[in-house]
Every structure is written in C-alpha cells, then in structure tokens.
C-alpha cells in the first residue's frame, strides 16, 4: 500500500463504492458498509495505515544519531550556562535554547532526554521561570533514566522552585525526600535554607490554585430561530452595545494547530517553553505539565496519528475527529441505554430531539450547527464519508477509544458506524463553519518551523525577565498569523454580511466578538465569511460565497446601486518585446492613495486615475521608471526622493545612510497624505531595517 498516497487511496475506494441513499450521514455510512466492496476497502485502509506507520519508524542509525545530537546540544548549553563572559541573562537564554533543542533531538525515555530536561530546569531556574523549571524536573524523572547519583540535585532544584512558587505541600514533600539522602556540606546548607523557607510559607499557606480562565459571556445577545428556509437561527443584541465593547465571548470547544504551528495543544498558548511528546516524535507540544495531563485523554487517541503523519494529510477532517474525541464521552452516559442505532442517530442529529433539553453540554451546540450535506455533490459526499471511515479504522486499530462504549447497549460495530457518521457530519459542518484563529507572532521566530522549536520565551534579545519584553522590542510582535482551526458553535450562528458588526479577537482558547460599530438593541449581529466591502469587490465576494457557502449575498452593501463606490479599479497596459500584458489592479480604498500636488500654483489634493499615462498607475512605484502626475494641473511630481530611498536601502551598514532614510521618510509627509499606501511600505522597510540591526 506504500504506492498509494492519501488522495489516491480515497479515490480508488470511491471508484469501488455505489451509494443509493445519501439522505443523512448515517444512511450514507450504512450504504457504504453494505456495499460488496466494503470489506476490500477496509482491508486497504488498514494496510495503508500500517504502511505509513512503518514508513515513519526510525531505524537504528537514526536513533544513534539522535542521541549523539542531543548530547552535543546539551554540551553546547552547558558552555553557555557556565560562561563568564557577556550578559548572564542572555547566556541563560542561549543555554535554554540549546537544552530545548537537545530535548527535541533526544529519544524518549533515555538518559540523554532526562539530562536535557534536568539541565534546562537549571537554566530556567536562573531565569526565574520557576513553574517551567519544576515541570522540567518532573519530566526528567518521568523518563526513569535520570542517574540515581544525581537525584539529590534535581530534588533540591524542585524544592527551590516549590519555595518560589509558594507551594507549601510540594516543598514539604521534597524536603522529606532530601532528609533521607546523604548530602555534602554545600547541599546540607541549601536544605537548611529551604527548611527556613518552609517555616515562612507555613504562615502564609496559599491553597488557591489559579484556574484556567474560561470566558462565556452572552448576556448581551440572544439566539432567534426564524424557522425560515435560507435564514434559520441568528443572533440579535438584547441591549445597545457601544463600538469596541464585547458583544459576546465563547470558549473554543475544540481546535487543532495548522501547519504544525507551535502552540499548546491544550490551551493554545503561544508564549511558552515547549514540552513535546516523544511518543509521536515531538510533533505536538504543551506549555506545561498541567496542560499535558489535561489533554492526555485526547492525545492517547491521536499520538499514533501524529507519529505516522496521518493528520497532515486529512485537512479539516482532523478537527472533525478532535471534536468527537473531546465531546462524545461527555454525552455518552445520556445515550448509553439506547439499543437502536437509528433512534440514537435521531437523538444526536435532530435539534428538536429530547436530548437537547437534557444537558447544556458543548457537544449539543456543535451537533445543532448547520451542515451542508444536501448541497454537496455525490462524489464529495462519498469522498468525505470514506475519510470518516478511514479515521474509524485508525481508532479501531491503533487506539482504545471504543472501550468507552463497553457499558452501553449497542455493540462496538454499531458505535463504529455512529462515530463514522459523526465525523462525516462534522466535516460537512466545518467546511463552512470552522474558524481560523489568529495570533500575534514574533517576526524573528518562525512558529511553523520544524527546525527551530525552542519556544518564544527563549528568543534572544527580547525579554528582560519572565513575560517582560525588553524596551524597544514591542515591534517584534507585529505579525499576525493563522495558528489553528477551531470549532466555535455560538459564533457560527451569526449570519454573514459584507459589513460585519463584530470584530474577532482570540486569546488562547477564548474568543471575543468586539463591536465594530455602535449596535442598536434588537439589531442582528453579523460576521463576515470573506473579505469585507472595505477591501474587496462585490462580484468577487459573491463568487466566493456562492462557491463555498452556496448562497448569494444580499446584505445592504451588496444591494447598493453602486456597491463598489469606495473603490477604484485600474487597468493599464504596456508593451514589452511586442507582447501586450494587461494588469488588473486590486480594489483600492481612495483614502490610502491621496497626494498633495507640489506645484506651488496648485497645491491641491489628488488621486491618480487610469486616464493618465501608464507610468502613473496607482502603484507607480512598483513600475520601472514609474511616476505620478497631478490630476488637477497635470504637473508631473518629483519622485527623486523615492529613487534615493530605494538606493539607500541597498546599503544600510553606514549610519549616515540610515539617518538619511529616516529624513526622507519624515520629509514626504507633505506629499503622501494621511495613511498612504506607499508610506506604509516605506515604514515596513524601515521597521525591517531596525529589526535586522538587533539580530
């Protein structure tokens, strides 16, 4: 089966399947299971999964090389840690980087991994990341390969971290452990200091644990079910809401990182010192042991899938699987007595069913989300149904997921059918209702890199102490990237408008809908599923919405007589080597292209138009020998300053050159008006120049 990639496997299976009933997800899955070629397809799925598992196994040479690399990186970290030159804080950061790289390089449950964790704990303690240092000590001991002769060292480290974390119980436990050890004078003195610290803590015991902040604010909104075809449920404001206020908030029930993005699999934290899972070759990470333990029940069913790189190939289907893994166990007790598969499906899939009144479980909200099954073509339905069945084969062959169904009245084979239908249903939902979560990411650290994974909190030259950014370095966190695909059932109720009333904000697993403008009581809350009317043309938006969501937008902005009035479209042609090339400029907002004429007898503000020569197009600076002329007096404007600016950017080692760049930027304020597009590009060039000077 190695000769088949994922798409070829599903395509081959689809060619062997004949589906008669595609009315519901369950009926379609049952049709596929009753097909004469189903046993063959199942064997193919099992063989293919086995093949990709084998293809991703490490050989002996690879294991040896990994161990040697981990040792080398740890030794490099030791050199930084013991260095007497340079800034101590930066040395500890660099040591932490090398130790983290050693952790990722090491093989699971080996001495190399144990020592890498222990040494990183040492550096993190110096950096005052006490919780992370304590977690690393635990990770080192969990390998069962930490040298016994060094055990007292790691116990003292744990005790010190517990003291600074003001954790009385842990400090007491570790001191009791150290009391049974034979210690030299130096360590005995440290223990005495810690015992004094224990007495201090006993007087101010803190029993409160910081709970994970789960936001759920919906008092300002309510859901209306219109029962109208084509509209369905929607959200309205129960009171007047001011611009910038939170309309509602929602905890992300399930999410999966996109493109291997370095975020915590449990809490979606971006700022972290990573703890990877070595069982799946470090393909997933956590920000803490707490998050790793909370997520353990989910990851035990995904670990092998990550190891054999299955989830990289199935796209949004991974989110569908994650939802089932996280949410199905929550409602299983409610349906455990059902012994009819059709009735069970009715309970799960129909909003009016009694199940929806039994609990406020998150999964109920997800099951009620709109699915576009009936709008899919039959080939697409078959494709996604077969993907769902492949994932059930994975769960059956490589996990113990179906053990949770043993106390129900249905057989495991029936639950396999139900789970397959649920995954299929969620795929149909998430094609149109999944949301991409964005986060600020550092410009000097690729959060999607598989080579650099030491974590954002260990980036050099940025931090002065834990979670305190160095003055003048805020610009480093200036990029926004999509980091995860998420399930947000409440947000999904919002209908589309090209002029949305909400602006999305993500913080870990919490989502906030902020008012984009003042909202009246009773007004509908709109989200935007594509580009807004401010930065796109109506026809382009409608084409995308029709193709993806199967509806023709009739929002107020799309129904205007001139829906693109705020935009200008430019066409210009030029001849190059007797070949005519036509360029179509993007939709552009007028206010970003306003100039003030430098002709002393004119001085009017103007916007270049397509009635001028080709060289005066809206993006004239991107053309060879480009220029711009005033539309009022036709005077060609002097752009020698821009030519000089671009030339100076080629050599910025000289301080005089850098000063001249900033002088030119300040000088053009009286020519490029307001938030001019060209000035933004120049500012970006200067910001990148500034960043390079610090790296």
What pLDDT sits at residue 615?
36
Give the CA distances from residue 288 to residues 134, 268, 488, in Å, rounded to whole numbers and listed in that order.
Answer: 10, 11, 25
pLDDT, residue 568, reads: 46
- Tell me the pLDDT band of 355, cut-offs 50, 70 and 90: low
What average pLDDT does range 185-191 have in this prediction? 88
Neighbouring CB atoms inside 10 A of 189's CB total: 11
pLDDT at 574: 30
What integer pLDDT is reported at residue 216 of this predicted model? 60
- Arithmetic mean of pLDDT, 228-243: 85
Q: What is the mean pLDDT of residues 639-668?
A: 89
Q: State the Cα–Cα distance between residues 612 and 393, nearest whole angstrom.
A: 64
The rounded percent of the chain whose pLDDT value lies above 70 is: 89
Q: What is the separation of C-alpha 570 from the centre of its chain, rounded to a whole number of angstroms?
A: 36
Question: Looking at residue 208, what is its pLDDT?
Answer: 44
Distance CA 395, CA 398 (A): 6
Whether 114 and 145 have beta carbons less than 8 Å apart is answered as yes
Let me know how many helices (H) and strands (E) the chain has, helices first: 23, 20
The angle, 0 to 180 degrees and rounded to 10, between the axes of the packed helices 25-34 and 38-55 is 100
DSSP code, position 598: -
For residue range 492-524, list pLDDT tens digits in order.
999 999 999 999 999 999 999 999 999 999 999
Is the CB of residue 531 less than 8 Å from the CB of residue 558?
no
Q: Which stretch, 61-70, 137-146, 589-598, has highest mean pLDDT?
A: 137-146
Rounded to the nearest 10 degrees, the angle between the axes of helix 378-398 and helix 317-335 is: 70
Indicate if the alpha-carbon torsion angle 11, 16, 21, 24 is positive or negative.
negative
Confidence of residue 571 (pLDDT cuts 50, 70, 90): very low
Neighbouring residues of 133: CB distance < 8 A, sequence distance ≥ 6: 120, 121, 122, 124, 125, 157, 161
d(CA 516, CA 61): 57
> What's the pLDDT score for residue 308?
95
pLDDT bracket for residue 354 (50, 70, 90): very low
**What is the percentage of the chain residues whose pLDDT exceeds 90?**
62
The more confident residue out of 627 and 158 is 158
Write the CATH number of the domain with boundaries 60-202. Answer: 1.25.40.10
Q: What is the DSSP letter of 402?
A: G
What is d(CA 351, CA 369) in angstroms, rounded to the nearest whole number?
9
Over range 281-307, report the average pLDDT: 97
Which pLDDT belongs to residue 220?
Answer: 84
Distance, in Å, from the CA atom of 103 to the CA atom of 69, rounded to the nearest integer, reads 10
- State residue 205's pLDDT score: 66
User: Is the predicted pLDDT of residue 207 greater than 80, yes or no?
Assistant: no
pLDDT tier at 32, thresholds 50, 70, 90: very high
When pLDDT is averaged across residues 588-609 and rounded to a whole number, the result is 82
Report the distance separating Cα 590 and Cα 675, nearest Å.
11
| pLDDT interval class at 579 (50, 70, 90) | very low
Indicate the range of 169-183, 210-224, 314-328, 393-407 predicted with least confidence. Answer: 210-224
pLDDT confidence tier of residue 269, bands split at 50, 70 and 90:
very high
Is the pLDDT assigned to residue 678 strictly greater than 70?
yes
**Contact of 305 with 395, CB cutoff 8 Å:** no
Give residue 227's pLDDT. 63
Report the candidate in 116, 106, 107 with the shortest Cα–Cα distance to residue 76.
116
Q: Helix 168-179 and helix 151-164: axis angle, to 10°?
A: 160
What's the rounded mean pLDDT across residues 45-57? 94
| Predicted confidence (pLDDT) at residue 115 exceeds the cutoff of 90 | yes
The token pair at 170 is 């842990």
**What ranges do the domains of the chain cover?**
1-55+321-433, 60-202, 254-316+440-487, 568-694
Residue 213 has pLDDT above 60, yes or no: no
Categorise residue 363: left if φ over 0, alpha if ψ from -120 to 50, beta otherwise. Answer: alpha
Averaged pLDDT for residues 9-28:
90
Whether 131 has a pLDDT exceeding 50, the answer reads yes
Across all residues in the chain, what is the average pLDDT?
88
Q: Is the pLDDT of residue 612 over 50?
A: no
Task: Say if residues 399 and 455 touch (Cβ distance below 8 Å).
Answer: no
Over residues 653-657, mean pLDDT: 82
pLDDT at 580 over 70: no
Q: Give the model's confidence band at 182: pLDDT under 50 very low, under 70 low, under 90 confident, else very high.
A: confident
Q: What is the mean pLDDT of residues 284-302?
A: 97
Q: Which of 307, 376, 387 is nearest to 7 (CA)?
A: 387
Beta bridge partners of 138: none
pLDDT at 434 over 70: yes
Judged against a pLDDT cut of 50, whether residue 587 lies above it is answered with: no
In our burial notation (b when 16+ CB lie closer than 10 A, e otherwise), range 146-161 reads beeeeebbbbbbbbbb
CA dihedral 114, 117, 121, 122 (to 10 degrees): 70
Instruction: Kindly tell me if the per-residue pLDDT of 695 is higher than 60.
Output: no
246, 217 contact by CB (below 8 A): yes
The pTM for the full model equals 0.82
Q: Which of 29, 147, 641 is nearest to 388 (CA)?
A: 29
**Of the candidates 325, 330, 332, which has an alpha carbon nearest to the alpha carbon of residue 408?**
332
Lowest mean pLDDT among 18-22, 146-150, 290-294, 592-596: 18-22
The more confident residue out of 479 and 354 is 479
- Whether 661 has a pLDDT exceeding 50, the answer reads yes
Longest CA pairwise span in the chain (Å): 92
């Amino acid at each position: 089966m190695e000769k088949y990639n994922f798409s070829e496997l599903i395509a081959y299976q689809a060619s062997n399947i004949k589906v008669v009933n595609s009315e519901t997800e369950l009926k379609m899955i049952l049709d596929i299971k009753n097909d004469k070629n189903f046993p063959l397809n199942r064997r193919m799925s099992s063989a293919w999964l086995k093949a990709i598992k084998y293809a991703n196994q490490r050989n002996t040479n690879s294991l040896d090389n990994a161990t040697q690399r981990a040792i080398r990186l740890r030794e490099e970290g030791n050199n930084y840690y013991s260095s007497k030159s340079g800034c101590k804080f930066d040395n500890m950061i660099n040591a932490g980087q090398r130790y983290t790289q050693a952790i990722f390089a090491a093989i699971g449950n080996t001495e190399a991994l144990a020592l890498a964790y222990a040494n990183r704990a040492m550096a993190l303690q110096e950096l005052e990341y006490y919780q992370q240092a304590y977690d690393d000590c635990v990770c080192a001991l969990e390998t069962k390969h930490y040298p016994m002769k060094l055990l007292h060292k790691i116990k003292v480290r744990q005790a010190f971290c517990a003291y600074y974390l003001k954790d009385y119980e842990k400090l007491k436990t570790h001191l009791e452990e150290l009391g049974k050890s034979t210690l030299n004078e130096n360590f005995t003195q440290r223990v005495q200091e810690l015992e004094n610290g224990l007495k201090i803590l006993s007087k101010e015991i803190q029993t409160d644990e910081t709970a994970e902040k789960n936001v759920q604010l919906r008092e300002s909104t309510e859901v209306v079910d219109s029962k109208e075809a084509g509209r369905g449920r929607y959200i309205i404001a129960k009171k007047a809401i001011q611009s910038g206020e939170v309309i509602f908030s929602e905890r992300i029930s399930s999410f999966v990182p996109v493109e291997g993005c370095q975020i915590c699999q449990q809490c979606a934290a971006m700022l972290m010192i990573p703890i990877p899972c070595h069982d799946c070759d470090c393909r997933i990470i956590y920000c803490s042991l707490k998050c790793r333990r909370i997520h353990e029940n989910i990851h035990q069913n995904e670990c092998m899938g990550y190891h054999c790189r299955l989830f990289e190939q199935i796209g949004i289907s991974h989110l569908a699987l994650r939802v089932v893994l996280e949410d199905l166990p929550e409602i299983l007790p409610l349906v455990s007595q059902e012994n009819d598969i059709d009735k069970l499906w009715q309970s799960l899939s129909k909003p009016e069913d009694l199940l929806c009144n039994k609990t406020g479980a998150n999964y109920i909200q997800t099951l009620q989300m709109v699915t576009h099954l009936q709008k899919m073509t039959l080939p697409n339905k078959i494709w996604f149904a077969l993907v769902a069945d492949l994932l059930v084969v994975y769960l059956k062959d490589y996990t113990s997921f179906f053990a949770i169904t043993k106390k129900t009245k249905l057989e495991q084979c029936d639950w396999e059918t139900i789970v397959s239908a649920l995954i299929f249903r969620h795929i149909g939902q998430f094609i149109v209702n999944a949301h991409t979560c964005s986060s600020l990411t550092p410009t000097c650290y690729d959060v999607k890199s598989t080579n650099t994974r030491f974590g954002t909190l260990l980036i050099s030259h940025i931090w002065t102490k834990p979670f305190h950014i160095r003055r003048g370095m805020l610009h480093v966190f200036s990029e926004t990237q999509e980091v995860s695909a998420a399930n947000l059932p409440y947000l999904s109720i919002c209908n589309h408008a090209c002029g949305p009333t909400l602006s999305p904000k993500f913080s870990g697993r919490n989502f906030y809908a902020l008012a984009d403008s003042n909202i009246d009581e009773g007004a509908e809350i709109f989200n935007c599923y594509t580009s807004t009317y401010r930065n796109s043309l109506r026809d382009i938006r409608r084409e995308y919405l029709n193709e993806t969501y199967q509806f023709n937008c009739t929002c107020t902005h799309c129904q205007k007589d001139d829906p693109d009035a705020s935009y200008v479209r430019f066409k210009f042609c030029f001849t190059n080597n007797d070949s005519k090339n036509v360029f179509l400029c993007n939709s552009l907002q007028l206010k970003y292209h306003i100039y003030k004429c430098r002709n002393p007898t004119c001085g009017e503000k103007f916007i270049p138009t397509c009635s001028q020569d080709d060289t005066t197009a809206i993006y004239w600076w991107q053309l060879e020998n480009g220029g711009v002329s005033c539309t009022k007096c036709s005077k060609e404007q002097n752009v020698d300053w821009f030519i000089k600016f671009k030339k100076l950017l080629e050599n910025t080692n000289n301080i005089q050159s850098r000063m001249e760049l900033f002088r030119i930027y300040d000088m053009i304020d009286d020519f490029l008006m307001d938030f001019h597009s060209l000035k933004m590009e120049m500012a970006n060039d200067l910001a990148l120049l500034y960043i390079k000077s610090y790296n």
